[in-house]
Structure 1
Amino acid sequence: MQLSLLQGVLKAVRAGIIVFDAEQRIVLWNQWMEQHSSFPADAILGKTFGEIFPDMVDGRTHVALRAALQNNFASLLSQTLNKAPFPLFANAGDAAAGIRMQQAVHVMPLEVESLPRHCLVQIGDVSMAVAREKKLRELAVELESQTLVDGLTGIANRRRFDQHLDDEFRRAKRNASPLSLIMIDVDYFKDYNDNYGHQHGDECLARIAGALCGVLHRPRDLAARYGGEEFTVVLPDTNEDGALQIAEAMRAEVESLKIEHAYSGVAGCVTISLGVSTLIPELAAKTGSLIHAADRALYQAKRTGRNCVVVYTDSKN
Protein backbone atom coordinates (compact mmCIF):
# COMPACT_ATOMS: atom_id res chain seq x y z
CA MET A 1 0.00 0.00 0.00
CA GLN A 2 2.69 2.47 1.04
CA LEU A 3 4.86 1.49 -1.94
CA SER A 4 1.97 2.02 -4.35
CA LEU A 5 1.24 5.38 -2.77
CA LEU A 6 4.89 6.41 -3.12
CA GLN A 7 4.94 5.35 -6.75
CA GLY A 8 1.78 7.36 -7.40
CA VAL A 9 3.29 10.44 -5.78
CA LEU A 10 6.52 10.16 -7.78
CA LYS A 11 4.47 9.79 -10.97
CA ALA A 12 2.27 12.80 -10.22
CA VAL A 13 4.86 15.24 -8.93
CA ARG A 14 5.69 18.00 -11.42
CA ALA A 15 9.41 18.11 -10.70
CA GLY A 16 12.42 16.03 -11.52
CA ILE A 17 13.47 13.55 -8.84
CA ILE A 18 16.80 11.73 -9.00
CA VAL A 19 18.22 9.65 -6.17
CA PHE A 20 21.91 8.67 -6.12
CA ASP A 21 23.45 6.04 -3.89
CA ALA A 22 26.76 6.37 -2.07
CA GLU A 23 28.63 5.44 -5.26
CA GLN A 24 26.84 8.16 -7.24
CA ARG A 25 24.78 5.54 -9.09
CA ILE A 26 21.22 6.49 -10.04
CA VAL A 27 18.67 4.44 -8.10
CA LEU A 28 15.56 6.52 -8.84
CA TRP A 29 14.59 8.44 -11.95
CA ASN A 30 10.97 9.60 -11.91
CA GLN A 31 8.53 9.95 -14.81
CA TRP A 32 9.05 13.73 -15.02
CA MET A 33 12.74 13.09 -15.70
CA GLU A 34 11.84 10.55 -18.37
CA GLN A 35 9.52 13.04 -20.05
CA HIS A 36 11.95 15.95 -20.14
CA SER A 37 15.22 14.12 -20.72
CA SER A 38 14.00 11.53 -23.24
CA PHE A 39 15.87 8.91 -21.19
CA PRO A 40 13.67 6.08 -19.86
CA ALA A 41 14.38 4.95 -16.32
CA ASP A 42 15.40 1.48 -17.54
CA ALA A 43 18.31 3.01 -19.48
CA ILE A 44 19.41 5.17 -16.56
CA LEU A 45 19.12 3.14 -13.37
CA GLY A 46 22.45 1.80 -12.15
CA LYS A 47 24.49 4.27 -14.20
CA THR A 48 26.76 6.75 -12.44
CA PHE A 49 26.47 10.52 -12.52
CA GLY A 50 29.55 10.74 -14.74
CA GLU A 51 28.21 8.20 -17.22
CA ILE A 52 24.91 10.04 -17.72
CA PHE A 53 26.16 13.59 -17.38
CA PRO A 54 29.81 13.59 -18.54
CA ASP A 55 29.75 17.31 -19.32
CA MET A 56 28.74 18.08 -15.72
CA VAL A 57 31.55 16.17 -13.99
CA ASP A 58 33.31 18.39 -11.43
CA GLY A 59 30.81 21.16 -12.15
CA ARG A 60 28.80 22.90 -9.43
CA THR A 61 26.04 20.27 -9.43
CA HIS A 62 28.52 17.41 -9.17
CA VAL A 63 30.38 19.17 -6.35
CA ALA A 64 27.07 19.63 -4.52
CA LEU A 65 26.27 15.93 -5.00
CA ARG A 66 29.61 14.89 -3.47
CA ALA A 67 29.13 17.31 -0.58
CA ALA A 68 25.72 15.80 0.16
CA LEU A 69 27.01 12.21 0.09
CA GLN A 70 30.30 12.79 1.92
CA ASN A 71 29.55 15.68 4.27
CA ASN A 72 25.75 15.54 4.71
CA PHE A 73 25.56 19.04 3.22
CA ALA A 74 22.48 20.31 1.36
CA SER A 75 22.73 22.83 -1.48
CA LEU A 76 20.32 25.04 -3.36
CA LEU A 77 22.04 25.93 -6.60
CA SER A 78 21.64 29.55 -7.62
CA GLN A 79 19.47 29.81 -10.74
CA THR A 80 21.39 32.94 -11.72
CA LEU A 81 24.70 31.06 -11.83
CA ASN A 82 23.30 27.69 -12.96
CA LYS A 83 20.48 28.51 -15.37
CA ALA A 84 20.15 25.07 -16.97
CA PRO A 85 22.68 22.55 -15.64
CA PHE A 86 20.81 19.37 -16.64
CA PRO A 87 20.02 18.56 -20.30
CA LEU A 88 16.26 18.87 -19.82
CA PHE A 89 13.82 20.27 -22.37
CA ALA A 90 10.23 21.50 -22.17
CA ASN A 91 9.20 19.80 -25.41
CA ALA A 92 10.52 18.05 -28.51
CA GLY A 93 10.92 21.32 -30.39
CA ASP A 94 13.15 22.79 -27.71
CA ALA A 95 15.12 19.55 -27.56
CA ALA A 96 15.74 19.68 -31.33
CA ALA A 97 16.84 23.31 -31.01
CA GLY A 98 18.98 22.62 -27.95
CA ILE A 99 17.01 25.06 -25.76
CA ARG A 100 17.18 23.80 -22.18
CA MET A 101 14.52 24.62 -19.63
CA GLN A 102 15.52 27.01 -16.85
CA GLN A 103 16.03 25.02 -13.65
CA ALA A 104 16.02 25.35 -9.88
CA VAL A 105 18.12 22.53 -8.39
CA HIS A 106 18.03 21.40 -4.77
CA VAL A 107 20.59 18.78 -3.68
CA MET A 108 19.83 17.09 -0.35
CA PRO A 109 21.46 14.28 1.61
CA LEU A 110 19.04 11.40 2.13
CA GLU A 111 19.22 9.00 5.06
CA VAL A 112 18.05 5.50 4.15
CA GLU A 113 17.62 2.98 6.96
CA SER A 114 20.32 0.28 7.03
CA LEU A 115 21.98 1.73 3.89
CA PRO A 116 24.80 4.22 3.30
CA ARG A 117 23.78 7.83 2.77
CA HIS A 118 21.97 8.62 -0.48
CA CYS A 119 21.41 11.92 -2.23
CA LEU A 120 18.14 13.38 -3.51
CA VAL A 121 18.29 15.87 -6.40
CA GLN A 122 15.10 17.81 -7.02
CA ILE A 123 14.79 19.81 -10.24
CA GLY A 124 12.08 22.38 -10.85
CA ASP A 125 11.15 24.05 -14.14
CA VAL A 126 11.38 27.81 -13.52
CA SER A 127 11.28 28.85 -17.17
CA MET A 128 8.02 30.78 -16.78
CA ALA A 129 9.24 32.58 -13.66
CA VAL A 130 12.49 33.51 -15.42
CA ALA A 131 10.55 34.75 -18.46
CA ARG A 132 8.31 36.87 -16.22
CA GLU A 133 11.34 38.28 -14.44
CA LYS A 134 12.96 39.11 -17.77
CA LYS A 135 9.77 40.82 -18.95
CA LEU A 136 9.59 42.83 -15.73
CA ARG A 137 13.20 43.93 -16.20
CA GLU A 138 12.45 44.97 -19.78
CA LEU A 139 9.38 46.91 -18.63
CA ALA A 140 11.44 48.59 -15.91
CA VAL A 141 14.03 49.65 -18.48
CA GLU A 142 11.29 50.89 -20.79
CA LEU A 143 9.65 52.82 -17.96
CA GLU A 144 12.99 54.34 -16.98
CA SER A 145 13.59 55.43 -20.57
CA GLN A 146 10.12 56.97 -20.71
CA THR A 147 10.81 58.99 -17.57
CA LEU A 148 13.83 60.50 -19.33
CA VAL A 149 11.97 61.49 -22.50
CA ASP A 150 9.74 64.51 -22.98
CA GLY A 151 6.31 63.21 -23.90
CA LEU A 152 5.48 66.09 -26.25
CA THR A 153 8.65 66.46 -28.31
CA GLY A 154 10.24 63.01 -27.96
CA ILE A 155 13.63 64.45 -27.00
CA ALA A 156 15.34 64.36 -23.59
CA ASN A 157 13.42 65.90 -20.73
CA ARG A 158 14.62 68.06 -17.83
CA ARG A 159 15.56 65.04 -15.71
CA ARG A 160 17.68 63.56 -18.49
CA PHE A 161 19.30 66.95 -19.06
CA ASP A 162 20.24 67.29 -15.38
CA GLN A 163 21.78 63.81 -15.35
CA HIS A 164 23.68 64.33 -18.59
CA LEU A 165 24.99 67.75 -17.61
CA ASP A 166 26.24 66.38 -14.29
CA ASP A 167 28.02 63.51 -16.06
CA GLU A 168 29.63 65.75 -18.67
CA PHE A 169 30.57 68.37 -16.06
CA ARG A 170 32.47 65.73 -14.06
CA ARG A 171 34.12 64.45 -17.24
CA ALA A 172 35.17 67.97 -18.22
CA LYS A 173 36.67 68.48 -14.75
CA ARG A 174 38.71 65.28 -15.01
CA ASN A 175 39.95 66.02 -18.51
CA ALA A 176 40.24 69.80 -18.18
CA SER A 177 38.19 70.04 -21.39
CA PRO A 178 35.72 72.74 -22.46
CA LEU A 179 32.01 72.23 -21.93
CA SER A 180 29.42 74.41 -23.63
CA LEU A 181 25.75 74.95 -22.95
CA ILE A 182 23.06 76.61 -25.08
CA MET A 183 19.84 77.90 -23.56
CA ILE A 184 17.05 78.46 -26.10
CA ASP A 185 13.71 80.26 -25.91
CA VAL A 186 11.01 80.38 -28.59
CA ASP A 187 10.32 84.02 -29.41
CA TYR A 188 6.82 85.29 -28.58
CA PHE A 189 5.55 81.78 -28.02
CA LYS A 190 2.74 82.89 -25.72
CA ASP A 191 1.36 85.01 -28.54
CA TYR A 192 1.62 82.02 -30.86
CA ASN A 193 -0.31 79.80 -28.43
CA ASP A 194 -2.94 82.42 -27.75
CA ASN A 195 -3.67 83.02 -31.43
CA TYR A 196 -3.08 79.64 -33.10
CA GLY A 197 -4.23 77.39 -30.24
CA HIS A 198 -2.40 74.95 -27.99
CA GLN A 199 -2.55 72.07 -30.46
CA HIS A 200 -0.65 74.10 -33.03
CA GLY A 201 1.63 75.26 -30.22
CA ASP A 202 2.47 71.65 -29.34
CA GLU A 203 3.13 70.83 -32.98
CA CYS A 204 5.37 73.88 -33.23
CA LEU A 205 7.48 72.80 -30.24
CA ALA A 206 7.82 69.27 -31.64
CA ARG A 207 9.05 70.62 -34.99
CA ILE A 208 11.54 72.92 -33.25
CA ALA A 209 12.85 70.00 -31.19
CA GLY A 210 13.41 68.01 -34.38
CA ALA A 211 15.24 70.93 -35.98
CA LEU A 212 17.55 71.33 -32.98
CA CYS A 213 18.39 67.63 -32.89
CA GLY A 214 19.02 67.65 -36.62
CA VAL A 215 21.99 69.97 -36.12
CA LEU A 216 23.68 67.63 -33.62
CA HIS A 217 25.79 64.73 -34.87
CA ARG A 218 27.95 63.54 -31.97
CA PRO A 219 26.64 60.87 -29.58
CA ARG A 220 27.34 62.87 -26.40
CA ASP A 221 25.68 66.07 -27.63
CA LEU A 222 22.24 66.37 -26.08
CA ALA A 223 19.24 68.55 -26.86
CA ALA A 224 16.54 68.62 -24.18
CA ARG A 225 13.28 70.34 -23.43
CA TYR A 226 14.02 72.46 -20.38
CA GLY A 227 10.41 73.41 -19.73
CA GLY A 228 7.57 75.16 -21.52
CA GLU A 229 9.01 76.74 -24.67
CA GLU A 230 12.60 76.55 -23.42
CA PHE A 231 15.18 74.11 -24.74
CA THR A 232 18.79 73.47 -23.81
CA VAL A 233 21.75 71.83 -25.54
CA VAL A 234 24.80 70.24 -23.89
CA LEU A 235 27.99 70.26 -26.00
CA PRO A 236 30.92 68.34 -24.47
CA ASP A 237 34.47 69.03 -25.69
CA THR A 238 33.23 72.14 -27.47
CA ASN A 239 34.89 75.54 -27.20
CA GLU A 240 33.16 78.89 -27.48
CA ASP A 241 33.63 79.21 -31.25
CA GLY A 242 32.27 75.72 -31.87
CA ALA A 243 29.26 76.33 -29.64
CA LEU A 244 28.54 79.62 -31.39
CA GLN A 245 28.57 77.91 -34.79
CA ILE A 246 26.15 75.22 -33.58
CA ALA A 247 23.86 77.78 -31.96
CA GLU A 248 23.75 79.86 -35.14
CA ALA A 249 23.04 76.74 -37.19
CA MET A 250 20.13 75.93 -34.86
CA ARG A 251 18.75 79.46 -35.12
CA ALA A 252 18.86 79.30 -38.92
CA GLU A 253 17.37 75.80 -38.99
CA VAL A 254 14.35 76.83 -36.94
CA GLU A 255 13.83 79.95 -39.02
CA SER A 256 13.99 77.84 -42.19
CA LEU A 257 11.00 75.82 -40.96
CA LYS A 258 8.95 78.90 -41.88
CA ILE A 259 6.26 78.20 -39.30
CA GLU A 260 3.87 81.10 -39.70
CA HIS A 261 3.75 83.50 -36.75
CA ALA A 262 1.84 86.63 -37.68
CA TYR A 263 1.91 87.79 -34.05
CA SER A 264 5.68 87.73 -33.59
CA GLY A 265 7.40 90.97 -32.80
CA VAL A 266 10.52 90.00 -34.71
CA ALA A 267 9.56 88.08 -37.89
CA GLY A 268 6.66 86.62 -39.81
CA CYS A 269 7.65 83.10 -38.77
CA VAL A 270 8.62 81.30 -35.58
CA THR A 271 12.17 82.11 -34.40
CA ILE A 272 14.33 81.36 -31.40
CA SER A 273 16.78 83.25 -29.20
CA LEU A 274 19.89 81.51 -27.91
CA GLY A 275 22.37 82.08 -25.10
CA VAL A 276 25.74 80.32 -25.10
CA SER A 277 28.17 79.72 -22.26
CA THR A 278 31.47 77.83 -22.25
CA LEU A 279 33.89 76.95 -19.49
CA ILE A 280 36.56 74.49 -18.44
CA PRO A 281 35.25 73.48 -15.01
CA GLU A 282 37.54 74.01 -12.04
CA LEU A 283 37.52 71.58 -9.11
CA ALA A 284 35.12 73.66 -7.07
CA ALA A 285 32.88 74.61 -10.00
CA LYS A 286 29.19 73.64 -10.08
CA THR A 287 26.88 73.03 -13.01
CA GLY A 288 24.83 75.99 -11.84
CA SER A 289 27.56 78.37 -12.95
CA LEU A 290 27.30 77.12 -16.54
CA ILE A 291 23.50 77.28 -16.54
CA HIS A 292 23.51 80.75 -14.98
CA ALA A 293 25.92 82.06 -17.61
CA ALA A 294 23.89 80.61 -20.51
CA ASP A 295 20.72 82.01 -18.96
CA ARG A 296 22.30 85.47 -18.73
CA ALA A 297 23.33 85.27 -22.39
CA LEU A 298 19.81 84.20 -23.38
CA TYR A 299 18.35 87.14 -21.47
CA GLN A 300 20.70 89.45 -23.35
CA ALA A 301 19.68 87.89 -26.70
CA LYS A 302 16.03 88.57 -25.93
CA ARG A 303 16.79 92.15 -24.89
CA THR A 304 18.76 92.90 -28.03
CA GLY A 305 16.07 91.97 -30.54
CA ARG A 306 15.58 88.16 -30.36
CA ASN A 307 16.16 85.73 -33.23
CA CYS A 308 19.87 85.94 -32.46
CA VAL A 309 22.71 84.25 -30.56
CA VAL A 310 24.58 85.87 -27.66
CA VAL A 311 27.68 84.38 -26.07
CA TYR A 312 28.33 84.96 -22.39
CA THR A 313 31.85 86.34 -22.30
CA ASP A 314 32.56 86.42 -18.54
CA SER A 315 31.79 82.94 -17.25
CA LYS A 316 34.00 83.35 -14.18
CA ASN A 317 31.65 85.88 -12.59
Structure 2
Amino acid sequence: MTESVFQEATSRSRTQAVSLSHLSLELGHLHMEDFEAGPGHLRRHFERVRPWAEAAHATAAATGGKRPRISTCFLIDDYFTRFSAPADVVPMLLEEAGRAGLVVDYLARESGCAVAGKVPVAEAVAGRIVEEPPPGSYGLRPPAAQTGWLANGERGPVARAPQAMKKATAWQPPKETAARRHSVFLDAELWDDDPDGHRTWSCSFLAAVWQLARLGLLRDDGEAVLVPQPHTTDTFPDDWDELPPLLRLNPRADPFTAYRTCSVIPSRFLPVEHAVHVILDQIEADPGALAQTAERSARENVAVPDSVADRISYVFYAEQ
Protein backbone atom coordinates (compact mmCIF):
# COMPACT_ATOMS: atom_id res chain seq x y z
CA MET A 1 0.00 0.00 0.00
CA THR A 2 2.56 2.49 -1.04
CA GLU A 3 4.05 4.78 -3.61
CA SER A 4 7.33 4.85 -5.47
CA VAL A 5 7.65 7.24 -8.27
CA PHE A 6 9.05 6.74 -11.73
CA GLN A 7 6.76 8.39 -14.28
CA GLU A 8 5.02 11.69 -14.77
CA ALA A 9 1.45 11.55 -13.45
CA THR A 10 0.09 12.33 -16.91
CA SER A 11 1.76 9.24 -18.38
CA ARG A 12 -0.06 6.82 -16.07
CA SER A 13 -3.47 5.56 -16.98
CA ARG A 14 -4.42 4.56 -13.45
CA THR A 15 -3.40 4.72 -9.82
CA GLN A 16 -4.10 1.59 -7.82
CA ALA A 17 -6.31 2.30 -4.83
CA VAL A 18 -5.54 0.95 -1.37
CA SER A 19 -7.79 0.33 1.61
CA LEU A 20 -7.45 2.83 4.43
CA SER A 21 -7.82 2.54 8.18
CA HIS A 22 -8.43 5.61 10.28
CA LEU A 23 -5.14 5.14 12.13
CA SER A 24 -1.92 3.19 11.68
CA LEU A 25 -0.51 2.66 15.18
CA GLU A 26 3.19 1.76 15.35
CA LEU A 27 3.96 -0.30 18.46
CA GLY A 28 7.70 -0.03 18.08
CA HIS A 29 10.74 0.44 15.86
CA LEU A 30 13.64 -1.35 17.47
CA HIS A 31 17.24 -2.08 16.54
CA MET A 32 19.60 -5.01 16.97
CA GLU A 33 20.71 -3.96 20.46
CA ASP A 34 17.09 -3.92 21.65
CA PHE A 35 16.60 -7.55 20.67
CA GLU A 36 20.03 -8.57 21.96
CA ALA A 37 18.98 -7.18 25.36
CA GLY A 38 16.52 -10.06 25.55
CA PRO A 39 12.83 -10.69 26.31
CA GLY A 40 12.88 -8.54 29.44
CA HIS A 41 13.85 -5.45 27.45
CA LEU A 42 11.05 -6.09 24.95
CA ARG A 43 8.63 -6.68 27.83
CA ARG A 44 9.45 -3.29 29.34
CA HIS A 45 9.03 -1.65 25.93
CA PHE A 46 5.54 -3.05 25.40
CA GLU A 47 4.54 -2.27 28.98
CA ARG A 48 5.36 1.38 28.26
CA VAL A 49 3.55 1.26 24.92
CA ARG A 50 0.32 -0.34 26.19
CA PRO A 51 -1.32 2.67 27.92
CA TRP A 52 -0.59 4.90 24.93
CA ALA A 53 -1.99 2.32 22.55
CA GLU A 54 -5.14 2.13 24.67
CA ALA A 55 -5.37 5.94 24.64
CA ALA A 56 -5.03 6.01 20.84
CA HIS A 57 -7.90 3.55 20.52
CA ALA A 58 -10.02 5.55 22.96
CA THR A 59 -9.30 8.82 21.16
CA ALA A 60 -10.17 7.35 17.78
CA ALA A 61 -13.42 5.92 19.18
CA ALA A 62 -14.33 9.28 20.72
CA THR A 63 -14.31 10.98 17.32
CA GLY A 64 -17.80 9.59 16.87
CA GLY A 65 -19.50 7.64 14.15
CA LYS A 66 -18.62 4.10 13.18
CA ARG A 67 -16.13 1.76 14.76
CA PRO A 68 -12.67 3.22 14.16
CA ARG A 69 -10.43 1.17 11.90
CA ILE A 70 -7.06 0.90 13.64
CA SER A 71 -4.20 -1.34 12.57
CA THR A 72 -0.97 -1.92 14.45
CA CYS A 73 2.49 -2.40 13.02
CA PHE A 74 6.05 -3.01 14.14
CA LEU A 75 9.25 -2.16 12.24
CA ILE A 76 12.41 -4.24 12.63
CA ASP A 77 15.74 -2.77 11.57
CA ASP A 78 17.36 -5.37 9.32
CA TYR A 79 18.90 -2.73 7.05
CA PHE A 80 21.87 -1.37 8.98
CA THR A 81 22.72 -4.60 10.80
CA ARG A 82 21.67 -8.17 10.12
CA PHE A 83 21.27 -10.04 13.37
CA SER A 84 19.93 -13.36 14.61
CA ALA A 85 17.11 -14.77 12.45
CA PRO A 86 13.38 -14.16 12.02
CA ALA A 87 12.75 -17.65 13.41
CA ASP A 88 14.25 -16.50 16.73
CA VAL A 89 13.36 -12.80 16.84
CA VAL A 90 9.75 -12.67 15.65
CA PRO A 91 8.25 -15.27 18.04
CA MET A 92 9.96 -13.54 20.98
CA LEU A 93 8.60 -10.19 19.80
CA LEU A 94 5.05 -11.47 19.42
CA GLU A 95 5.12 -13.29 22.74
CA GLU A 96 6.18 -10.19 24.65
CA ALA A 97 3.62 -8.03 22.85
CA GLY A 98 0.94 -10.57 23.77
CA ARG A 99 2.04 -10.50 27.43
CA ALA A 100 1.26 -6.77 27.42
CA GLY A 101 -2.13 -7.36 25.82
CA LEU A 102 -1.03 -5.98 22.43
CA VAL A 103 -1.55 -7.49 18.99
CA VAL A 104 0.92 -6.81 16.17
CA ASP A 105 -1.13 -6.84 12.97
CA TYR A 106 1.70 -6.10 10.54
CA LEU A 107 5.44 -6.73 10.72
CA ALA A 108 7.79 -4.77 8.46
CA ARG A 109 11.49 -4.99 7.64
CA GLU A 110 13.29 -1.65 7.37
CA SER A 111 15.26 -2.92 4.37
CA GLY A 112 11.93 -3.00 2.51
CA CYS A 113 11.82 0.80 2.77
CA ALA A 114 15.02 0.85 0.70
CA VAL A 115 14.18 -1.86 -1.84
CA ALA A 116 10.97 -3.89 -1.94
CA GLY A 117 11.27 -6.80 -4.33
CA LYS A 118 12.55 -5.21 -7.53
CA VAL A 119 11.29 -1.74 -6.65
CA PRO A 120 13.97 0.75 -5.47
CA VAL A 121 11.54 2.49 -3.13
CA ALA A 122 13.95 4.89 -1.42
CA GLU A 123 15.53 5.95 -4.71
CA ALA A 124 12.09 6.65 -6.15
CA VAL A 125 11.06 8.75 -3.16
CA ALA A 126 14.35 10.66 -3.36
CA GLY A 127 13.43 11.53 -6.93
CA ARG A 128 10.35 13.33 -5.59
CA ILE A 129 12.27 15.78 -3.41
CA VAL A 130 11.27 19.36 -4.20
CA GLU A 131 13.46 21.62 -2.10
CA GLU A 132 12.00 24.79 -0.67
CA PRO A 133 14.36 27.67 -1.54
CA PRO A 134 14.88 29.85 1.53
CA PRO A 135 13.65 33.44 1.12
CA GLY A 136 16.41 35.60 -0.32
CA SER A 137 18.59 32.66 -1.38
CA TYR A 138 20.46 32.80 -4.68
CA GLY A 139 20.92 29.13 -5.51
CA LEU A 140 24.41 28.94 -4.01
CA ARG A 141 23.57 25.75 -2.13
CA PRO A 142 23.99 22.55 -4.17
CA PRO A 143 20.75 20.55 -4.53
CA ALA A 144 19.97 17.62 -2.22
CA ALA A 145 20.23 15.22 -5.15
CA GLN A 146 23.90 16.21 -5.36
CA THR A 147 24.84 16.51 -1.70
CA GLY A 148 22.55 14.03 0.05
CA TRP A 149 21.61 16.72 2.59
CA LEU A 150 18.25 18.45 3.03
CA ALA A 151 17.63 21.48 5.26
CA ASN A 152 14.55 23.26 6.57
CA GLY A 153 16.01 26.69 5.83
CA GLU A 154 19.11 28.58 4.86
CA ARG A 155 22.50 27.36 6.03
CA GLY A 156 25.00 29.83 7.42
CA PRO A 157 27.54 30.98 4.80
CA VAL A 158 30.87 29.22 4.63
CA ALA A 159 33.69 31.47 5.83
CA ARG A 160 36.21 32.20 3.09
CA ALA A 161 39.48 34.08 3.12
CA PRO A 162 38.91 37.61 1.78
CA GLN A 163 40.31 38.60 -1.59
CA ALA A 164 42.77 41.46 -1.80
CA MET A 165 41.18 44.82 -0.93
CA LYS A 166 37.95 43.09 0.17
CA LYS A 167 36.59 42.43 3.61
CA ALA A 168 35.91 38.93 4.92
CA THR A 169 32.27 37.88 4.84
CA ALA A 170 30.69 38.38 8.23
CA TRP A 171 29.31 35.33 10.00
CA GLN A 172 25.57 34.82 9.67
CA PRO A 173 23.45 32.26 11.49
CA PRO A 174 21.35 29.65 9.69
CA LYS A 175 17.65 30.46 9.36
CA GLU A 176 14.64 28.18 9.51
CA THR A 177 12.26 28.93 6.62
CA ALA A 178 9.10 28.70 8.73
CA ALA A 179 10.58 29.97 11.99
CA ARG A 180 8.27 31.33 14.68
CA ARG A 181 10.43 34.24 15.84
CA HIS A 182 13.42 31.98 16.61
CA SER A 183 14.82 29.31 14.32
CA VAL A 184 15.14 25.60 14.91
CA PHE A 185 17.41 24.83 11.99
CA LEU A 186 17.96 21.25 10.87
CA ASP A 187 20.20 19.87 8.14
CA ALA A 188 19.38 16.18 7.61
CA GLU A 189 21.62 13.65 5.90
CA LEU A 190 19.60 11.53 3.47
CA TRP A 191 22.30 9.09 2.37
CA ASP A 192 26.01 8.54 1.94
CA ASP A 193 27.99 6.77 -0.78
CA ASP A 194 31.06 4.61 -0.21
CA PRO A 195 34.10 4.75 -2.55
CA ASP A 196 32.61 1.94 -4.63
CA GLY A 197 29.44 3.94 -5.24
CA HIS A 198 27.21 1.88 -2.95
CA ARG A 199 24.56 4.08 -1.37
CA THR A 200 23.41 3.70 2.22
CA TRP A 201 20.16 5.47 3.04
CA SER A 202 19.95 7.25 6.38
CA CYS A 203 17.65 6.13 9.17
CA SER A 204 15.78 9.44 8.82
CA PHE A 205 15.13 8.97 5.13
CA LEU A 206 13.98 5.36 5.52
CA ALA A 207 11.70 6.48 8.37
CA ALA A 208 10.16 9.07 6.01
CA VAL A 209 9.58 6.32 3.42
CA TRP A 210 8.01 4.21 6.18
CA GLN A 211 5.56 7.02 6.99
CA LEU A 212 4.61 7.39 3.31
CA ALA A 213 4.03 3.65 3.17
CA ARG A 214 1.72 3.72 6.19
CA LEU A 215 -0.19 6.67 4.71
CA GLY A 216 -0.78 4.76 1.48
CA LEU A 217 1.07 7.35 -0.62
CA LEU A 218 3.64 5.16 -2.39
CA ARG A 219 3.19 3.94 -5.96
CA ASP A 220 5.42 2.41 -8.62
CA ASP A 221 4.09 3.21 -12.09
CA GLY A 222 0.68 3.55 -10.47
CA GLU A 223 0.88 0.21 -8.65
CA ALA A 224 0.96 -0.08 -4.87
CA VAL A 225 4.22 -1.28 -3.37
CA LEU A 226 4.98 -2.71 0.08
CA VAL A 227 1.73 -4.63 -0.09
CA PRO A 228 1.22 -6.83 2.99
CA GLN A 229 1.76 -10.52 2.38
CA PRO A 230 -0.26 -12.97 4.50
CA HIS A 231 1.57 -15.16 6.99
CA THR A 232 0.15 -18.65 6.50
CA THR A 233 2.47 -20.85 8.56
CA ASP A 234 3.31 -21.29 12.24
CA THR A 235 7.02 -20.70 11.69
CA PHE A 236 9.34 -17.99 10.40
CA PRO A 237 12.39 -18.38 8.13
CA ASP A 238 16.03 -18.45 9.21
CA ASP A 239 17.06 -15.70 6.78
CA TRP A 240 15.76 -12.13 6.73
CA ASP A 241 15.69 -12.10 2.92
CA GLU A 242 13.19 -14.96 3.01
CA LEU A 243 10.77 -12.85 5.04
CA PRO A 244 8.48 -10.55 2.99
CA PRO A 245 9.17 -6.80 3.44
CA LEU A 246 5.70 -6.41 4.95
CA LEU A 247 3.90 -9.31 6.59
CA ARG A 248 0.28 -9.48 7.67
CA LEU A 249 0.23 -11.47 10.90
CA ASN A 250 -3.41 -10.93 11.88
CA PRO A 251 -5.87 -12.11 9.20
CA ARG A 252 -8.63 -10.01 10.82
CA ALA A 253 -6.60 -6.81 10.93
CA ASP A 254 -7.86 -3.52 9.58
CA PRO A 255 -5.95 -2.19 6.53
CA PHE A 256 -2.25 -1.47 6.95
CA THR A 257 -2.46 1.96 5.28
CA ALA A 258 -4.37 4.75 7.01
CA TYR A 259 -5.42 8.38 6.92
CA ARG A 260 -3.12 9.14 9.86
CA THR A 261 -0.26 7.49 11.70
CA CYS A 262 0.88 7.44 15.31
CA SER A 263 4.15 5.94 16.53
CA VAL A 264 4.88 5.04 20.15
CA ILE A 265 8.67 4.95 20.34
CA PRO A 266 11.58 5.72 22.70
CA SER A 267 12.61 9.36 23.03
CA ARG A 268 16.00 8.60 21.43
CA PHE A 269 14.16 8.63 18.10
CA LEU A 270 13.08 12.27 18.48
CA PRO A 271 15.96 13.76 16.37
CA VAL A 272 15.29 11.21 13.62
CA GLU A 273 11.59 12.02 13.54
CA HIS A 274 12.32 15.76 13.43
CA ALA A 275 14.27 15.02 10.26
CA VAL A 276 11.33 12.96 8.97
CA HIS A 277 9.11 16.05 9.15
CA VAL A 278 11.69 18.14 7.29
CA ILE A 279 11.91 15.47 4.57
CA LEU A 280 8.16 14.96 4.20
CA ASP A 281 7.60 18.71 3.95
CA GLN A 282 9.75 18.66 0.80
CA ILE A 283 8.47 15.47 -0.86
CA GLU A 284 5.97 15.71 -3.70
CA ALA A 285 3.75 12.74 -2.94
CA ASP A 286 2.04 10.82 -5.73
CA PRO A 287 -0.84 13.05 -6.89
CA GLY A 288 -3.10 10.12 -7.75
CA ALA A 289 -2.67 8.61 -4.29
CA LEU A 290 -3.26 11.99 -2.64
CA ALA A 291 -6.45 12.47 -4.66
CA GLN A 292 -7.74 9.04 -3.68
CA THR A 293 -7.14 9.74 0.00
CA ALA A 294 -8.88 13.12 -0.27
CA GLU A 295 -11.87 11.64 -2.08
CA ARG A 296 -12.31 8.76 0.35
CA SER A 297 -11.85 10.91 3.46
CA ALA A 298 -14.48 13.34 2.18
CA ARG A 299 -16.86 10.45 1.56
CA GLU A 300 -16.31 9.18 5.11
CA ASN A 301 -16.35 12.67 6.60
CA VAL A 302 -12.85 12.16 8.04
CA ALA A 303 -10.70 15.26 8.46
CA VAL A 304 -7.25 14.76 6.90
CA PRO A 305 -4.65 17.59 6.84
CA ASP A 306 -3.44 18.78 3.45
CA SER A 307 0.17 18.54 4.62
CA VAL A 308 1.48 14.98 4.60
CA ALA A 309 3.79 15.76 7.53
CA ASP A 310 0.78 16.87 9.60
CA ARG A 311 -0.81 13.44 9.19
CA ILE A 312 1.76 11.79 11.43
CA SER A 313 2.01 11.94 15.22
CA TYR A 314 4.12 10.46 17.98
CA VAL A 315 4.30 9.43 21.59
CA PHE A 316 7.89 9.52 22.87
CA TYR A 317 8.59 7.73 26.12
CA ALA A 318 11.65 7.83 28.35
CA GLU A 319 13.49 4.51 28.61
CA GLN A 320 15.03 5.14 32.02
TM-score (norm 1): 0.20
Q: Which has the higher contact order (CA 8 A, sep 6+)?
A: 2
Structure with the bigger percentage of helix: 1
Larger radius of gyration: 1
TM-score (norm 2): 0.20
